[in-house]
DNA sequence: TATCCATTGATTGCATCCAATATCAACACA
DNA sequence: TGTGTTGATATTGGATGCAATCAATGGATA
Protein backbone atom coordinates (compact mmCIF):
# COMPACT_ATOMS: atom_id res chain seq x y z
CA UNK A 1 0.00 0.00 0.00
CA UNK A 2 1.74 3.04 -1.26
CA UNK A 3 0.72 6.68 -1.22
CA UNK A 4 -0.67 7.32 -4.74
CA UNK A 5 2.60 6.68 -6.51
CA UNK A 6 1.97 6.83 -10.25
CA UNK A 7 1.45 10.27 -11.79
CA UNK A 8 -0.96 9.15 -14.48
CA UNK A 9 -0.59 10.28 -18.04
CA UNK A 10 -4.35 10.84 -18.13
CA UNK A 11 -5.13 14.45 -17.28
CA UNK A 12 -8.29 13.80 -15.29
CA UNK A 13 -6.49 11.41 -12.97
CA UNK A 14 -3.48 13.67 -12.66
CA UNK A 15 -5.75 16.57 -11.78
CA UNK A 16 -7.70 14.44 -9.30
CA UNK A 17 -4.42 13.63 -7.58
CA UNK A 18 -3.37 17.27 -7.48
CA UNK A 19 -6.68 18.40 -5.98
CA UNK A 20 -6.66 15.48 -3.54
CA UNK A 21 -3.18 16.44 -2.38
CA UNK A 22 -4.29 20.02 -1.82
CA UNK A 23 -7.22 18.83 0.27
CA UNK A 24 -5.02 16.47 2.27
CA UNK A 25 -2.28 18.98 2.98
CA UNK A 26 -4.83 21.49 4.15
CA UNK A 27 -4.39 24.11 1.45
CA UNK A 28 -7.98 23.45 0.41
CA UNK A 29 -10.18 23.53 3.50
CA UNK A 30 -13.58 21.86 3.99
CA UNK A 31 -16.35 24.05 2.67
CA UNK A 32 -14.10 25.77 0.16
CA UNK A 33 -15.50 26.06 -3.32
CA UNK A 34 -13.80 24.49 -6.31
CA UNK A 35 -14.57 26.32 -9.54
CA UNK A 36 -14.01 24.25 -12.65
CA UNK A 37 -12.68 27.07 -14.78
CA UNK A 38 -10.32 28.36 -12.11
CA UNK A 39 -8.77 24.96 -11.53
CA UNK A 40 -8.66 24.16 -15.23
CA UNK A 41 -6.62 27.31 -15.80
CA UNK A 42 -4.42 26.58 -12.79
CA UNK A 43 -3.57 23.12 -14.13
CA UNK A 44 -3.29 24.21 -17.75
CA UNK A 45 -6.19 22.09 -18.96
CA UNK A 46 -9.77 22.55 -20.02
CA UNK A 47 -12.78 22.10 -17.79
CA UNK A 48 -13.57 18.58 -19.02
CA UNK A 49 -10.81 16.72 -17.15
CA UNK A 50 -11.42 18.91 -14.10
CA UNK A 51 -15.07 17.90 -14.13
CA UNK A 52 -14.12 14.24 -14.33
CA UNK A 53 -11.59 14.67 -11.54
CA UNK A 54 -14.28 16.23 -9.35
CA UNK A 55 -16.58 13.27 -9.94
CA UNK A 56 -13.77 10.93 -8.93
CA UNK A 57 -13.12 12.89 -5.78
CA UNK A 58 -16.83 12.90 -5.04
CA UNK A 59 -16.87 9.12 -5.03
CA UNK A 60 -13.87 9.29 -2.69
CA UNK A 61 -16.02 11.42 -0.41
CA UNK A 62 -13.58 14.32 -0.52
CA UNK A 63 -15.71 16.60 -2.68
CA UNK A 64 -19.42 17.35 -2.67
CA UNK A 65 -21.06 18.08 -6.03
CA UNK A 66 -24.38 19.85 -6.53
CA UNK A 67 -25.83 19.65 -10.02
CA UNK A 68 -25.68 22.85 -12.03
CA UNK A 69 -24.31 24.65 -9.01
CA UNK A 70 -20.79 23.70 -8.07
CA UNK A 71 -18.32 21.68 -6.10
CA UNK A 72 -17.10 22.12 -2.55
CA UNK A 73 -14.53 20.36 -0.40
CA UNK A 74 -16.64 18.01 1.73
CA UNK A 75 -17.46 19.00 5.26
CA UNK A 76 -17.52 15.95 7.50
CA UNK A 77 -19.70 15.94 10.59
CA UNK A 78 -18.52 14.66 13.96
CA UNK A 79 -20.80 11.64 13.56
CA UNK A 80 -19.39 10.80 10.13
CA UNK A 81 -15.87 11.06 11.49
CA UNK A 82 -16.70 8.73 14.37
CA UNK A 83 -18.22 6.35 11.85
CA UNK A 84 -15.01 6.34 9.82
CA UNK A 85 -13.04 5.45 12.94
CA UNK A 86 -15.48 2.63 13.76
CA UNK A 87 -14.95 1.18 10.31
CA UNK A 88 -11.20 1.57 10.56
CA UNK A 89 -11.28 -0.22 13.90
CA UNK A 90 -12.80 -3.25 12.22
CA UNK A 91 -10.85 -3.21 8.97
CA UNK A 92 -7.32 -2.07 9.70
CA UNK A 93 -6.52 -5.02 11.97
CA UNK A 94 -7.55 -7.30 9.11
CA UNK A 95 -5.28 -5.43 6.72
CA UNK A 96 -2.39 -5.49 9.17
CA UNK A 97 -2.89 -9.22 9.56
CA UNK A 98 -2.81 -9.74 5.80
CA UNK A 99 0.27 -7.54 5.48
CA UNK A 100 2.15 -9.26 8.30
CA UNK A 101 2.09 -12.52 6.37
CA UNK A 102 4.43 -10.99 3.78
CA UNK A 103 6.32 -8.33 5.73
CA UNK A 104 10.08 -8.78 5.63
CA UNK A 105 12.39 -8.00 8.50
CA UNK A 106 13.91 -4.99 6.79
CA UNK A 107 10.51 -3.30 6.59
CA UNK A 108 9.89 -4.00 10.24
CA UNK A 109 13.22 -2.33 11.01
CA UNK A 110 12.08 0.70 9.02
CA UNK A 111 8.83 0.76 10.99
CA UNK A 112 10.84 0.68 14.19
CA UNK A 113 12.95 3.59 13.01
CA UNK A 114 9.85 5.55 12.03
CA UNK A 115 8.31 5.00 15.46
CA UNK A 116 11.42 6.46 17.12
CA UNK A 117 11.72 9.29 14.62
CA UNK A 118 8.13 10.25 15.38
CA UNK A 119 8.90 10.23 19.07
CA UNK A 120 11.53 12.90 18.67
CA UNK A 121 9.96 15.07 16.01
CA UNK A 122 8.95 18.57 16.93
CA UNK A 123 6.44 19.91 14.44
CA UNK A 124 2.90 18.87 13.65
CA UNK A 125 3.23 18.43 9.92
CA UNK A 126 6.22 16.13 10.27
CA UNK A 127 4.39 14.15 12.92
CA UNK A 128 1.34 13.72 10.70
CA UNK A 129 3.46 12.69 7.76
CA UNK A 130 5.48 10.15 9.75
CA UNK A 131 2.37 8.72 11.40
CA UNK A 132 0.70 8.21 8.05
CA UNK A 133 3.89 6.73 6.63
CA UNK A 134 4.24 4.36 9.60
CA UNK A 135 0.76 2.90 9.29
CA UNK A 136 0.66 2.72 5.52
CA UNK A 137 4.05 1.05 5.47
CA UNK A 138 2.84 -1.50 8.02
CA UNK A 139 0.08 -2.35 5.53
CA UNK A 140 2.30 -2.26 2.46
CA UNK A 141 2.85 -6.00 2.13
CA UNK A 142 -0.84 -6.89 2.01
CA UNK A 143 -2.06 -8.37 -1.25
CA UNK A 144 -5.64 -7.29 -0.56
CA UNK A 145 -5.92 -4.29 -2.83
CA UNK A 146 -9.56 -3.38 -2.38
CA UNK A 147 -9.28 -3.53 1.41
CA UNK A 148 -6.25 -1.25 1.23
CA UNK A 149 -8.16 1.13 -1.00
CA UNK A 150 -11.11 1.38 1.36
CA UNK A 151 -8.78 2.15 4.22
CA UNK A 152 -6.82 4.71 2.27
CA UNK A 153 -10.09 6.49 1.49
CA UNK A 154 -11.02 6.51 5.16
CA UNK A 155 -7.63 7.98 6.06
CA UNK A 156 -8.05 10.64 3.40
CA UNK A 157 -11.54 11.66 4.42
CA UNK A 158 -10.56 12.07 8.06
CA UNK A 159 -7.18 13.65 7.39
CA UNK A 160 -8.48 17.16 8.04
CA UNK A 161 -9.61 16.30 11.56
CA UNK A 162 -6.43 14.41 12.34
CA UNK A 163 -4.59 17.64 11.59
CA UNK A 164 -7.06 19.80 13.47
CA UNK A 165 -6.84 17.55 16.53
CA UNK A 166 -3.08 17.39 16.49
CA UNK A 167 -2.79 21.15 16.10
CA UNK A 168 -5.15 21.59 19.03
CA UNK A 169 -3.54 19.27 21.56
CA UNK A 170 0.04 19.51 20.33
CA UNK A 171 2.51 16.65 20.02
CA UNK A 172 4.25 16.95 23.37
CA UNK A 173 2.11 14.57 25.42
CA UNK A 174 1.80 11.76 22.92
CA UNK A 175 3.56 9.00 24.78
CA UNK A 176 0.52 6.70 24.62
CA UNK A 177 0.54 6.99 20.86
CA UNK A 178 4.24 6.18 20.70
CA UNK A 179 3.70 3.24 23.04
CA UNK A 180 1.06 1.86 20.70
CA UNK A 181 3.42 2.16 17.77
CA UNK A 182 6.18 0.34 19.62
CA UNK A 183 3.72 -2.38 20.67
CA UNK A 184 2.72 -2.88 17.07
CA UNK A 185 6.33 -3.12 15.90
CA UNK A 186 7.10 -5.58 18.67
CA UNK A 187 4.14 -7.79 17.82
CA UNK A 188 5.06 -7.74 14.14
CA UNK A 189 8.61 -8.73 14.95
CA UNK A 190 7.32 -11.69 16.97
CA UNK A 191 4.89 -12.48 14.11
CA UNK A 192 2.05 -12.43 16.61
CA UNK A 193 -0.93 -11.36 14.52
CA UNK A 194 -3.48 -11.36 17.34
CA UNK A 195 -1.28 -9.13 19.44
CA UNK A 196 -0.63 -6.76 16.57
CA UNK A 197 -4.32 -6.57 15.84
CA UNK A 198 -5.30 -5.82 19.40
CA UNK A 199 -2.65 -3.13 19.75
CA UNK A 200 -3.91 -1.53 16.56
CA UNK A 201 -7.53 -1.69 17.75
CA UNK A 202 -6.53 0.09 20.95
CA UNK A 203 -4.64 2.66 18.95
CA UNK A 204 -7.56 3.50 16.68
CA UNK A 205 -10.14 3.35 19.45
CA UNK A 206 -8.07 5.78 21.49
CA UNK A 207 -8.00 8.31 18.69
CA UNK A 208 -11.76 7.99 18.31
CA UNK A 209 -12.38 8.67 21.98
CA UNK A 210 -9.87 11.51 21.95
CA UNK A 211 -11.79 13.13 19.10
CA UNK A 212 -15.02 12.63 21.02
CA UNK A 213 -13.43 14.39 23.99
CA UNK A 214 -12.50 17.38 21.82
CA UNK A 215 -15.64 18.32 19.90
CA UNK A 216 -14.20 21.79 19.30
CA UNK A 217 -12.14 20.18 16.53
CA UNK A 218 -15.36 19.98 14.52
CA UNK A 219 -16.43 23.54 15.24
CA UNK B 1 -30.16 1.83 2.89
CA UNK B 2 -32.16 1.75 -0.29
CA UNK B 3 -31.29 0.40 -3.72
CA UNK B 4 -30.20 3.43 -5.77
CA UNK B 5 -33.49 5.29 -5.53
CA UNK B 6 -33.16 8.67 -7.24
CA UNK B 7 -32.89 8.77 -11.04
CA UNK B 8 -30.67 11.80 -11.18
CA UNK B 9 -31.38 14.66 -13.54
CA UNK B 10 -27.67 14.70 -14.39
CA UNK B 11 -27.05 12.54 -17.43
CA UNK B 12 -23.71 11.14 -16.31
CA UNK B 13 -25.21 9.80 -13.09
CA UNK B 14 -28.30 8.50 -14.84
CA UNK B 15 -26.11 6.68 -17.35
CA UNK B 16 -23.91 5.30 -14.57
CA UNK B 17 -27.02 3.85 -12.93
CA UNK B 18 -28.23 2.31 -16.19
CA UNK B 19 -24.89 0.66 -16.89
CA UNK B 20 -24.57 -0.47 -13.28
CA UNK B 21 -28.00 -2.09 -13.46
CA UNK B 22 -27.04 -3.92 -16.64
CA UNK B 23 -23.92 -5.25 -14.95
CA UNK B 24 -25.84 -6.31 -11.86
CA UNK B 25 -28.64 -8.06 -13.69
CA UNK B 26 -26.13 -9.95 -15.78
CA UNK B 27 -26.92 -8.49 -19.19
CA UNK B 28 -23.38 -7.09 -19.23
CA UNK B 29 -20.98 -9.87 -18.31
CA UNK B 30 -17.47 -9.54 -16.83
CA UNK B 31 -14.92 -9.04 -19.58
CA UNK B 32 -17.42 -7.49 -21.95
CA UNK B 33 -16.29 -4.32 -23.62
CA UNK B 34 -18.10 -1.01 -23.18
CA UNK B 35 -17.61 1.32 -26.14
CA UNK B 36 -18.28 4.95 -25.34
CA UNK B 37 -19.86 5.79 -28.67
CA UNK B 38 -22.09 2.73 -28.71
CA UNK B 39 -23.47 3.41 -25.24
CA UNK B 40 -23.79 7.12 -25.90
CA UNK B 41 -25.99 6.37 -28.88
CA UNK B 42 -27.96 3.76 -26.93
CA UNK B 43 -28.73 6.28 -24.17
CA UNK B 44 -29.30 9.20 -26.52
CA UNK B 45 -26.39 11.25 -25.24
CA UNK B 46 -22.90 12.20 -26.30
CA UNK B 47 -19.72 10.45 -25.22
CA UNK B 48 -18.88 12.95 -22.48
CA UNK B 49 -21.45 11.83 -19.89
CA UNK B 50 -20.73 8.20 -20.79
CA UNK B 51 -17.06 8.74 -20.09
CA UNK B 52 -17.87 10.31 -16.72
CA UNK B 53 -20.21 7.45 -15.91
CA UNK B 54 -17.46 4.96 -16.72
CA UNK B 55 -15.06 6.72 -14.38
CA UNK B 56 -17.65 6.56 -11.62
CA UNK B 57 -18.18 2.85 -12.20
CA UNK B 58 -14.43 2.36 -12.23
CA UNK B 59 -14.19 3.79 -8.73
CA UNK B 60 -17.01 1.42 -7.78
CA UNK B 61 -14.81 -1.38 -9.06
CA UNK B 62 -17.41 -2.51 -11.59
CA UNK B 63 -15.55 -1.27 -14.66
CA UNK B 64 -11.90 -1.38 -15.63
CA UNK B 65 -10.55 1.51 -17.71
CA UNK B 66 -7.37 1.47 -19.75
CA UNK B 67 -6.18 4.84 -21.01
CA UNK B 68 -6.64 5.44 -24.73
CA UNK B 69 -7.81 1.88 -25.15
CA UNK B 70 -11.20 1.17 -23.66
CA UNK B 71 -13.45 0.05 -20.85
CA UNK B 72 -14.43 -3.45 -19.80
CA UNK B 73 -16.74 -4.86 -17.18
CA UNK B 74 -14.39 -5.82 -14.37
CA UNK B 75 -13.35 -9.41 -14.01
CA UNK B 76 -12.98 -10.31 -10.34
CA UNK B 77 -10.57 -13.05 -9.34
CA UNK B 78 -11.42 -15.71 -6.81
CA UNK B 79 -9.04 -14.07 -4.35
CA UNK B 80 -10.66 -10.66 -4.74
CA UNK B 81 -14.06 -12.20 -4.21
CA UNK B 82 -12.91 -13.92 -1.03
CA UNK B 83 -11.45 -10.60 0.09
CA UNK B 84 -14.81 -8.91 -0.41
CA UNK B 85 -16.48 -11.53 1.75
CA UNK B 86 -13.85 -11.10 4.45
CA UNK B 87 -14.56 -7.38 4.54
CA UNK B 88 -18.30 -7.96 4.56
CA UNK B 89 -17.88 -10.36 7.46
CA UNK B 90 -16.33 -7.58 9.50
CA UNK B 91 -18.52 -4.69 8.41
CA UNK B 92 -22.04 -5.99 7.91
CA UNK B 93 -22.50 -7.00 11.55
CA UNK B 94 -21.58 -3.45 12.49
CA UNK B 95 -24.12 -2.06 10.04
CA UNK B 96 -26.80 -4.45 11.25
CA UNK B 97 -26.08 -3.35 14.80
CA UNK B 98 -26.45 0.30 13.86
CA UNK B 99 -29.63 -0.41 11.97
CA UNK B 100 -31.20 -2.45 14.76
CA UNK B 101 -31.11 0.57 17.03
CA UNK B 102 -33.71 2.25 14.83
CA UNK B 103 -35.57 -0.67 13.26
CA UNK B 104 -39.29 -0.59 13.94
CA UNK B 105 -41.42 -3.69 14.48
CA UNK B 106 -43.23 -3.33 11.17
CA UNK B 107 -39.95 -3.58 9.27
CA UNK B 108 -39.00 -6.67 11.25
CA UNK B 109 -42.36 -8.20 10.25
CA UNK B 110 -41.52 -7.44 6.63
CA UNK B 111 -38.14 -9.12 7.06
CA UNK B 112 -39.89 -12.16 8.50
CA UNK B 113 -42.24 -12.27 5.53
CA UNK B 114 -39.32 -11.95 3.11
CA UNK B 115 -37.51 -14.83 4.78
CA UNK B 116 -40.54 -17.08 4.30
CA UNK B 117 -41.18 -15.87 0.78
CA UNK B 118 -37.61 -16.75 -0.12
CA UNK B 119 -38.08 -20.20 1.36
CA UNK B 120 -40.87 -20.97 -1.05
CA UNK B 121 -39.63 -19.25 -4.18
CA UNK B 122 -38.73 -21.39 -7.15
CA UNK B 123 -36.48 -19.47 -9.52
CA UNK B 124 -32.99 -18.16 -9.13
CA UNK B 125 -33.56 -14.55 -10.11
CA UNK B 126 -36.40 -14.16 -7.63
CA UNK B 127 -34.28 -15.76 -4.94
CA UNK B 128 -31.39 -13.38 -5.63
CA UNK B 129 -33.69 -10.38 -5.61
CA UNK B 130 -35.40 -11.36 -2.36
CA UNK B 131 -32.11 -12.17 -0.67
CA UNK B 132 -30.67 -8.80 -1.58
CA UNK B 133 -33.89 -7.11 -0.50
CA UNK B 134 -33.87 -8.94 2.83
CA UNK B 135 -30.38 -7.94 3.79
CA UNK B 136 -30.53 -4.38 2.53
CA UNK B 137 -33.85 -3.87 4.33
CA UNK B 138 -32.31 -5.18 7.54
CA UNK B 139 -29.71 -2.42 7.16
CA UNK B 140 -32.15 0.26 6.11
CA UNK B 141 -32.54 1.96 9.48
CA UNK B 142 -28.82 2.61 9.97
CA UNK B 143 -27.78 6.25 10.00
CA UNK B 144 -24.23 5.38 8.98
CA UNK B 145 -24.29 6.37 5.34
CA UNK B 146 -20.67 5.78 4.38
CA UNK B 147 -20.65 2.33 5.97
CA UNK B 148 -23.80 1.47 4.04
CA UNK B 149 -22.19 2.72 0.84
CA UNK B 150 -19.08 0.60 1.29
CA UNK B 151 -21.23 -2.46 1.82
CA UNK B 152 -23.44 -1.74 -1.14
CA UNK B 153 -20.34 -1.51 -3.31
CA UNK B 154 -19.14 -4.86 -2.02
CA UNK B 155 -22.53 -6.43 -2.78
CA UNK B 156 -22.45 -4.98 -6.25
CA UNK B 157 -18.95 -6.12 -7.10
CA UNK B 158 -19.68 -9.70 -6.02
CA UNK B 159 -23.19 -9.86 -7.48
CA UNK B 160 -22.02 -11.72 -10.57
CA UNK B 161 -20.57 -14.58 -8.53
CA UNK B 162 -23.58 -14.76 -6.25
CA UNK B 163 -25.63 -15.38 -9.37
CA UNK B 164 -23.13 -17.83 -10.85
CA UNK B 165 -22.98 -19.81 -7.60
CA UNK B 166 -26.75 -19.90 -7.18
CA UNK B 167 -27.24 -20.99 -10.76
CA UNK B 168 -24.68 -23.73 -10.25
CA UNK B 169 -25.97 -25.27 -7.03
CA UNK B 170 -29.65 -24.40 -7.45
CA UNK B 171 -31.97 -23.17 -4.72
CA UNK B 172 -33.46 -26.46 -3.59
CA UNK B 173 -31.04 -27.34 -0.81
CA UNK B 174 -30.79 -23.95 0.82
CA UNK B 175 -32.24 -24.70 4.22
CA UNK B 176 -29.12 -23.52 6.04
CA UNK B 177 -29.43 -20.15 4.37
CA UNK B 178 -33.08 -19.89 5.35
CA UNK B 179 -32.21 -20.91 8.89
CA UNK B 180 -29.70 -18.08 9.07
CA UNK B 181 -32.30 -15.60 7.89
CA UNK B 182 -34.80 -16.77 10.47
CA UNK B 183 -32.14 -16.59 13.18
CA UNK B 184 -31.38 -13.01 12.21
CA UNK B 185 -35.06 -12.02 12.28
CA UNK B 186 -35.48 -13.69 15.65
CA UNK B 187 -32.48 -11.91 17.14
CA UNK B 188 -33.69 -8.58 15.78
CA UNK B 189 -37.11 -9.14 17.30
CA UNK B 190 -35.51 -9.80 20.67
CA UNK B 191 -33.28 -6.75 20.13
CA UNK B 192 -30.26 -8.90 20.80
CA UNK B 193 -27.52 -7.23 18.81
CA UNK B 194 -24.76 -9.68 19.66
CA UNK B 195 -26.88 -12.60 18.56
CA UNK B 196 -27.90 -10.90 15.34
CA UNK B 197 -24.28 -10.10 14.60
CA UNK B 198 -23.06 -13.63 15.18
CA UNK B 199 -25.83 -15.11 13.02
CA UNK B 200 -24.89 -12.71 10.25
CA UNK B 201 -21.21 -13.54 10.57
CA UNK B 202 -22.02 -17.24 10.19
CA UNK B 203 -24.21 -16.47 7.22
CA UNK B 204 -21.53 -14.54 5.37
CA UNK B 205 -18.75 -16.91 6.33
CA UNK B 206 -20.76 -19.84 5.03
CA UNK B 207 -21.17 -18.20 1.65
CA UNK B 208 -17.45 -17.53 1.51
CA UNK B 209 -16.58 -21.15 2.20
CA UNK B 210 -19.24 -22.34 -0.23
CA UNK B 211 -17.64 -20.22 -2.93
CA UNK B 212 -14.24 -21.64 -2.01
CA UNK B 213 -15.69 -25.15 -2.39
CA UNK B 214 -16.94 -24.31 -5.89
CA UNK B 215 -14.02 -22.73 -7.74
CA UNK B 216 -15.68 -23.59 -11.06
CA UNK B 217 -17.85 -20.52 -10.43
CA UNK B 218 -14.81 -18.42 -11.24
CA UNK B 219 -13.84 -20.37 -14.37
C1' DT C 1 8.45 -20.28 -40.83
C1' DA C 2 8.97 -17.00 -37.22
C1' DT C 3 9.92 -12.22 -35.98
C1' DC C 4 10.10 -7.45 -36.43
C1' DC C 5 8.50 -3.09 -38.21
C1' DA C 6 5.48 0.18 -40.40
C1' DT C 7 1.09 1.67 -41.78
C1' DT C 8 -3.85 1.93 -41.21
C1' DG C 9 -8.07 1.93 -38.83
C1' DA C 10 -10.58 2.35 -34.71
C1' DT C 11 -11.18 4.40 -30.26
C1' DT C 12 -10.37 7.30 -26.67
C1' DG C 13 -8.77 12.09 -24.56
C1' DC C 14 -9.36 16.77 -24.64
C1' DA C 15 -10.45 21.71 -26.22
C1' DT C 16 -13.87 24.74 -27.87
C1' DC C 17 -18.48 26.21 -28.26
C1' DC C 18 -23.34 26.50 -27.02
C1' DA C 19 -27.35 25.52 -23.99
C1' DA C 20 -29.37 25.03 -19.45
C1' DT C 21 -29.62 26.19 -14.78
C1' DA C 22 -28.89 28.51 -10.38
C1' DT C 23 -27.76 32.66 -7.87
C1' DC C 24 -28.28 37.28 -6.73
C1' DA C 25 -29.56 41.93 -7.03
C1' DA C 26 -32.80 45.34 -8.36
C1' DC C 27 -37.39 46.61 -8.48
C1' DA C 28 -42.38 46.71 -8.13
C1' DC C 29 -46.03 46.13 -5.04
C1' DA C 30 -48.74 45.15 -0.92
C1' DT D 1 -40.88 47.87 5.50
C1' DG D 2 -41.18 43.32 4.01
C1' DT D 3 -42.08 40.16 0.19
C1' DG D 4 -42.49 38.31 -4.24
C1' DT D 5 -40.95 38.70 -9.06
C1' DT D 6 -38.03 39.40 -12.78
C1' DG D 7 -33.95 40.05 -15.23
C1' DA D 8 -28.68 39.85 -15.59
C1' DT D 9 -24.63 37.29 -14.63
C1' DA D 10 -21.90 33.60 -13.45
C1' DT D 11 -21.24 28.74 -13.58
C1' DT D 12 -22.04 24.25 -14.76
C1' DG D 13 -23.72 20.39 -18.28
C1' DG D 14 -23.27 18.59 -22.70
C1' DA D 15 -22.41 18.25 -28.08
C1' DT D 16 -19.15 18.47 -31.67
C1' DG D 17 -14.66 18.22 -33.80
C1' DC D 18 -9.79 17.36 -33.78
C1' DA D 19 -5.49 15.39 -31.92
C1' DA D 20 -3.26 11.52 -29.63
C1' DT D 21 -2.80 6.84 -28.75
C1' DC D 22 -3.32 1.94 -29.21
C1' DA D 23 -4.16 -2.49 -31.64
C1' DA D 24 -4.11 -5.15 -35.64
C1' DT D 25 -2.90 -6.33 -40.09
C1' DG D 26 0.24 -6.87 -43.74
C1' DG D 27 4.70 -7.19 -45.67
C1' DA D 28 9.76 -7.54 -45.46
C1' DT D 29 13.66 -9.94 -43.63
C1' DA D 30 16.49 -13.38 -41.19
Per-residue pLDDT at A2: 65
Asked whether the beta carbons of A32 and A73 are under 8 A apart, the reply is: yes
Alpha-carbon span A150 to A69, nearest angstrom: 29
- Neighbouring CB atoms inside 10 A of A177's CB total 19
A48-67 tens-digit pLDDT: 999 999 999 999 999 999 99
Per-residue pLDDT at B7: 60
pLDDT at A8 over 80: no
| Closest nt to residue B40, judged CA to C1' | D15
Per-residue pLDDT at A6: 57
Alpha-carbon span B187 to A63, nearest angstrom: 39
Comparing A9 with A198, the larger pLDDT belongs to A198
Residue nearest to nucleotide C20 (CA to C1'): A68
Average pLDDT over chain A, rounded to whole?
95
Per-residue pLDDT at B196: 98
A63-87 tens-digit pLDDT: 999 999 999 999 999 999 999 999 9
Per-residue pLDDT at A194: 98
Strands A70-73 and B63-66: unpaired
Distance from CA of A56 to the nearest CA of B (A): 6
Determine the residue among B83, B149, B157 to mutate to test chain A binding: the one whose Cβ has the most chain A Cβ atoms within 10 Å: B83
Range 43-82, chain B: CB under 7 Å to any strand D atom: 45-49, 52, 66-69
Q: Which of A57, A56, A53, A51 is nearest to A73 (CA)?
A: A57
Asked whether the beta carbons of B99 and B176 are under 8 A apart, the reply is: no
Range 141-160, chain A: CB under 7 Å to any strand D atom: none
pLDDT band, very low/low/confident/very high, at A4 (cuts 50, 70, 90): low
Q: Which helix (H) or strand (E) holds B63?
A: strand B63-66
Nearest CB among A91, A94, A146 relative to B61 is that of: A146
State the average pLDDT over residues A130-144: 98
Alpha-carbon span B121 to B130, nearest angstrom: 9
pLDDT band, very low/low/confident/very high, at A148 (cuts 50, 70, 90): very high
> What domains can you pick out in chain B, each with its CATH number?
11-73 (1.10.10.10), 78-218 (1.20.120.530)
Alpha-carbon span A50 to B52, nearest angstrom: 11
Per-residue pLDDT at A91: 98
Alpha-carbon span B65 to B41, nearest angstrom: 20
Residues of chain B with pLDDT under 70: 2-7
Q: Annotate A36-84 with DSSP letters as a single string.
A: HHHHHHHTTS-HHHHHHHHHHHHHHTSEEEETTTEEEE----HHHHHHH
Per-residue pLDDT at B9: 72
Per-residue pLDDT at B2: 64
The verdict on A48 touching B (C-beta cutoff 8 Å) is: yes
**Are residues A10 and B67, on separate chains, in Cβ contact within 8 Å?**
yes
Strands A70-73 and A33-34: antiparallel
Distances (CA, A) of A166 to A30, A123, B64: 17, 10, 38
Kindly give the residue spans of alpha helices, DSSP state H, lying in chain A. Answer: 11-24, 36-42, 47-60, 78-100, 105-119, 124-138, 145-169, 175-189, 193-213
Question: Would you state the torsion angle of the CA atoms of residues B39, B18, A152, A142, taken in this order, to the nearest 10 degrees?
Answer: -80
| Closest nt to residue A9, judged CA to C1' | C13
A82-106 tens-digit pLDDT: 999 999 999 999 999 999 999 999 9
Amino acid sequence: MTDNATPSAVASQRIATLIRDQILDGSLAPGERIRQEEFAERFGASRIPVKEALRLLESDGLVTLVANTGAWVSRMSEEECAEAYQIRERLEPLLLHESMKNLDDATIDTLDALAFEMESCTDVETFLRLDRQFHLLSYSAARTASLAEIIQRLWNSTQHYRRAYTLLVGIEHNQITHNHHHLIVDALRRRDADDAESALVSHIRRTRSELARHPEVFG
